Structure 1
C-alpha cells in the first residue's frame, strides 16, 4: 500500500479574515483532533448511520450507487488493498461505487467546535480500479474520480469552504492520496456539516474508498526561544544554575491576534498551566532540574481554556547533561601507508567525539565523529562531548597510529638465454623488508635458469605487495639446412630471432648468406645476438664454375672443382661438343687447365658428367681465351 503526498484543494470562504486568500492546507500548527473517523475495524461489513448517505448499503458486491464500510475491496477487477489507517488489522474504510448520476454521497455533522476558530479538514482517498489498457472497452482509464468537499454551518445555509479534488486517475499500484480544506467557524457556531459530492457519473471506473477523516484546529507556527535564541538548553553537571526569559514567536500566518497561556511539564507528557503567565514572554525560575515549557496560543481569548480551540507552541526543553565518560578505545592501529582504516572509539548514545592532537588544549582536528582517518604516524586524542549541552569528558583517550611504508614494486619481463641463467631482483630500497619467492627462496635476489612466471612477496612490517617477473627463454638457433648457391653459402634456420652468423667463430654478421667462397669444407657458427652460446655445423661447399679463362693471368686459370675430394665417392668426366672424353678423375681432387695431350683447346663450350655419392650432375661450362 503506497502513501502519497498531500494534495491541497482550492476553496472559498464566506467570511473575511487574515486567511481568506488561503488556497492550501494549514501552513501553521494543528491542535489536537476534535473529530476522527477511521471507520473502525473487523471482518464484518457495516452501514453508515442514518442520514450520512443517500447510497444503498450493499451486503455483497457494491454495484453502481451502492456503498459499504468494509475491510475488503476484492470486488470486480478492483485493487485488493488494506485501509489507510496505520497498524489497523482488518481496518475498515468507506467503499463507494459511484451512482450513474453525479451528486452527494456522504454527509456528516461535526460538533464540538469553537466559534471564530480556524480548522483544518483532511481525508484520504484511493482509486480502486487499476490502470489496464484492455479495461473499460479499451479505454484503460475509465471514468475518473472527482469529488467536491463542502463545509457548511450547522444551519446548512452558509458555505464555509469548498474545493474539488480534480481527476484522480487509475494507477498501476494502490495509492492513497490526502486531500484537505481550511475553514473558519462563525461566531456562536460549534458545529459544521461536511458534505462529499461526486462530480462524475458512475459506470466503468469512478470506484473509490475513503478513510481517516479528521478535523483539527489550525494556528500559527510558534517557536519558543530563550534570551540566546536557543530552542533548548542543557546545562552540564556542576554548572551555575540557569534562568532565562522564554519568548513565543508566532509567524502570524494564520492568526491576526494572539493570546497565551504558558505551561510546564516535568516529563514532556503531562502539562499544567502556570498561573498568571499569559504574555508572549515568560521568565523561568532558577533551573536545576529537567523541565519543559510551552504555551497555548489562540486568536480569541474566550477559546484559551478549550483544548478544542487552542493550538500549541513548540516545546522548550531544559535539561541537565551528565559529564560523559571518556571514549573507549577499540585498539591502537598500525597500517600500511596505502591502507584505509580509521581510528575508532565507542561512546554512549547521545554522545559524540572530538579529536585533538594533544591530551589537553591542542588543536581540534575533527569534530563530531567517532572515527578519524589519520595519515601521519603519531598519537591522537578523542574527547567525548554530549550532543545535548556540549559537556566534555574530564579526560581524553589517547590512540596510537603507526603508518608503515608499503614497498613499491614494478612487474618485469626478462629474457634468459637457453642453457644460461638470469638474476631476478625484487628491487626495493627498504632495509627492513623481507622476501618470499614462489620458489621458496627468501633473498632479495635469486638466480634462475628456467623460463616461467616468478613471484615474490615483499613485506615491510606487515605491509605486503607482490611482484611478478615473467622470464622468457631465448632459444639457441636450430640449423635446418645449409645450401650452396653458386659460390655462396646460405644458412637456413628452423626458428626465428635476432641471430648472427660467422665462418671463423669470431666475425659475426646478421646476414645468413656468405658470398664468393671457394669450394671446400667450412664450419658454420650461429648464435643469438644477446647470448653467448654458439651452435656449429660442418658443411662441404661445392660448386661447378660456369666458365674459366686459362690465360695465365692468375684469375680463373683453371676449371677447379674444389672440395670434390671430400666426398666419399666422386667421379668427373669432361667432353667436347662431339662427345670426346678430354679428362677424367675418380675419388680425387679435380682441376683442368683447358688442354688435351699438351695442346690448348679452343674457346668453346665443354660438357661435364659429375657423380658425387651416386648423385649424377650434368651440364656445360665455357672455356674463354
Structure 2
C-alpha cells in the first residue's frame, strides 16, 4: 500500500479585524510601529552634535554613536505616523538633570559608571539590536505636559482588539538616596485620548531591569493616536527608560487533530483511508467567529475556498471546532494542503 502526504494547516487572517489583550492569547502580529517604537535604525539616526562626553568612546557608558537624534513627528502634522514627545530633547552635558527632558541613548550608565547626561542613571537599549531607547526625567504633570511619547494616525481595523505595550525601566538605582517609596515611575497608555492601561509603580532595583507593561483596546476608528504618558505627580525620582513601544494585532490559536480515520489503515494518511480532521479554534476574545475552509492542490502556491464562509458559536471555554471531511484518500491527493482561515467578519 502506498503512503501519501496530505497536509492539514491552520491560519489566522490578520488582514481582517481581530482583538488583543495586554498579553495576547494566541497568535500575535508584528509590531505595527517597527523602528519607530524600538528606537532603531533607519528611523533613529546618530546625533553627531551631542556633547563630547556623551559619546566619546572612552567608557562603556559613552560609546561612539551613543546619542540618537530627537523625535520630530510633532512638527510634521497629523498623518505623519512619526513619533514625538512633549518633553524637551537634550544631548548636552547634564542634559537630563532638569525635569521634563528626554534623550535618545544606547547606554546611559552601567556598572562602570554613568553617562554625563545624568551621572546617576543606569540602563541600556532593551531591543538588543544595537539601537537606542528613550531616557526620560519625569516632571510633575502640573508643570509639564504628561506626554512622554506619541504617534498619530496608525491604521487599524474597526472592531479589532490590539495590544498597546512598552518595556519600561526605572533608571535610578535602588541604592540611590533619591530612590524613595512613592517616587517610582508610573506610566499610562492612552488611545485616542482614553487611558487603556496603567503600569503601576516601576520598582527600584540595584541593577537596571526592564519590565513589560501595557493594555488592550478595541478599535472603533480606522486610525488611532497613541500616547505613553506620565501617571505620577512626583518630582524626585520618576526617571524612566522606554523601549520597544508596540501595537500588535492578536489572533486566535488553532489546533489541528484527526477526528476520524477509517478504512484499510487507521493510523496513517494512506491511500484508501477515509479521513476527516478537526480544527479547534481557541480565542479568549471570541472575536474570530467566522471561518473558511481552503484547499491547495499545487503544494500551497494557491488556495481556493471550499464551500462558503460560515459563522461558529463559541463554547464556554472560548473554543469551537470545525470538522472537515477529506473523504477517501487517493494517489491524486498526494501533496494536497488543507487549511482553515478565521476572522471576525
Residues 147 and 256 (structure 1), Cα distance of their counterparts in 2 relative to 1, 3 Å cut? closer
Instruction: Select which of 227, 241, 244 maps to 2:275.
Output: 244
Is 2:190 the counterpart of 1:147? no
The CA deviation string for residues 101-156 of structure 1, in whole angstroms up to 9 with x for no partner, is 36222221242211111222221111111111x522xx65572001111112xxx5
Output aligned runs, 1:150-161, within 5 Å: 150-152=190-192, 159=194
8 A contact 2:294–2:340 mirrored in 1: yes
Determine the C-alpha separation between the residues in 1 that align with 2:172 and 2:323. Answer: 55
* Maintained 8 Å contact 1:105/1:196: yes
Quote the Cα distance in structure 1 between the aligned partners of 2:165 and 2:248.
Answer: 9
Structure 1 residues 147 and 28, CA, compared in 2 at 3 Å: closer, same or farther?
A: same
Unaligned runs of 5+ in 2: 1-18, 47-64, 75-83, 110-114, 311-321
| Matches of 1:96 and 1:295, distance apart in 2 | 46
1:297 CA drift (Å): 1.4
Q: Of residues 289, 292, 297 in structure 2, which corresponds to 1:261? A: 292
8 A Cα contact 1:265 1:292, kept in partner: yes
Is 1:168 the counterpart of 2:202? The answer is yes
Q: Distance in 2 between matches of 1:129 and 1:23?
A: 30
How many Å apart are 1:25 and its aligned residue?
Answer: 3.1
Q: Post-superposition shift, 1:194? A: 1.1
Alpha-carbon separation, structure 1, partners of 2:69 and 2:334: 52
The equivalent of 1:55 in structure 2 is 87
1:227 alignment partner, SS class: strand
Matches for 1:340-351 after TM superposition, within 5 Å = none
User: Root-mean-square deviation (CA), in Å?
Assistant: 3.4
Task: Name the SS for the 2:226 alignment partner.
Answer: strand
Which has more radius of gyration? 1
Task: State the 1:57 CA deviation.
Answer: 0.8
Selected match of 2:106 from 64, 67, 71? 71
Q: Which residue of 2 aligns with 1:197?
A: 229
3-state SS of paired residue (2:96): coil
Distance in 1 between the 2:90 and 2:169 partners? 19
Report if aligned partners of 1:79, 1:174 keep a CA contact under 8 Å in 2. Answer: no
Between the aligned partners of 2:108 and 2:225, the Cα distance in structure 1 is: 28
Q: Give the 5 Å matches for 1:524-535.
A: none
> Conserved in 1, the CA contact under 8 Å of 2:256 and 2:277?
yes
Listed one character per residue, the Cα deviations across residues 166-202 of structure 1 (whole Å, up to 9, x for unaligned) are 111211212111112111111xx21111122212245
Aligned-partner Cα distance in 2 for 1:146–1:179: 10
* Cα-to-partner distance string for 1:266-319 (whole Å, 9 max, x where unaligned): 999x7743333545443447476566644321112xxxxxxxxxxxxxxxxxxx
1:298 matched residue in structure 2:
343
User: 2:38 maps to what in 1?
Assistant: 38
Relative to its length, the structure with more strand (as a share) is 1
Higher relative contact order (CA 8 A, sep 6+): 2
2:250 corresponds in structure 1 to 218
In structure 2, what is the equivalent of residue 97 of structure 1? 137
Q: 2:247 & 2:297 partners in 1: Cα distance?
A: 29
Whole-angstrom distance in 2 between the partners of 1:95 and 1:204: 16
Aligned residue for 1:119, secondary structure, equals strand
CA-CA distance at 1:95 after TM superposition: 1.4
In structure 2, how many angstroms separate the alpha carbons of the residues matched to 1:164 and 1:242?
55
- Name the CA shift for 1:173/1:281 in 2 (closer, same or farther; >3 Å): same
> In structure 2, what is the Cα distance between the partners aligned to 1:56 and 1:266?
59
Residue 32 (structure 1) shift: 4.3
- Residue 255 of structure 1: CA displacement? 2.1
Contact 2:165 2:212 (C-alpha < 8 Å) held by counterparts: yes
Measure how far apart 1:67 and its partner are: 0.9
In the alignment, is the contact (CA less than 8 A) between 1:262 and 1:273 conserved in 2? no
Question: What is the distance in 2 between the residues matched to 1:265 and 1:213?
Answer: 38
1:27 aligns with 2:58: no
TM-score of the aligned structures, taking structure 2 as reference length? 0.64
CA distance in 2, matches of 1:174, 1:274: 52
- For 1:266 and 1:39, how far apart are their aligned partners in 2? 44
1 CA distance for matches of 2:296 and 2:38? 31
Which of 142, 150, 157 is residue 107 of structure 1 equivalent to? 150
Alignment size in residue pairs:
261
Is contact 2:104–2:135 with CA below 8 Å preserved after alignment?
Answer: yes
